[in-house]
């Protein structure tokens, strides 16, 4: 995958490979010991309902970064 600056990702819309809108990117978490990116933290859309992704204490979705399939106009993740 090509290099992308993190500042260009903030607020980017996130969609599933099935075309479903999930929300917008709020932040990205990282393991401080290894330096590996861990999760996309996504502000979900109100109509999202239940998903199989974990949620943090504020209700944001925690999507493992290995689910990212593409980053263009939207971030596409494997659901």
Coil/strand/helix, residue 65: helix
pTM summary value: 0.84
- Paired tokens of 44: 């979900």
| Span 30-57, pLDDT tens digits | 999 999 999 999 999 988 777 889 999 9
Whole-number Å distance between alpha carbons of 47 and 50? 9
- 5-25 residue pLDDT tens: 677 787 899 999 998 899 999
Report the alpha-carbon distance of residue 40 to residue 30 in Å, rounded: 10
User: In the CATH hierarchy, which fold is given to the domain comprising 6-77?
Assistant: SH3 type barrels. (2.30.30)
pLDDT at 61 over 80: yes
d(CA 48, CA 5): 28
């Amino acid at each position: 995958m090509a290099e992308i600056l993190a500042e260009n990702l903030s607020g980017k819309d996130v969609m599933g490979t099935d075309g479903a809108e999930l929300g917008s990117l709020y932040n990205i978490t990282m393991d401080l010991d290894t330096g590996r990116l861990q999760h996309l933290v996504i502000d979900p859309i109100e109509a999202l309902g239940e998903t199989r992704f974990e949620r943090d204490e504020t209700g944001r979705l925690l999507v493992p970064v290995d689910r990212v399939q593409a980053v263009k106009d939207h971030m596409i993740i494997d659901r």
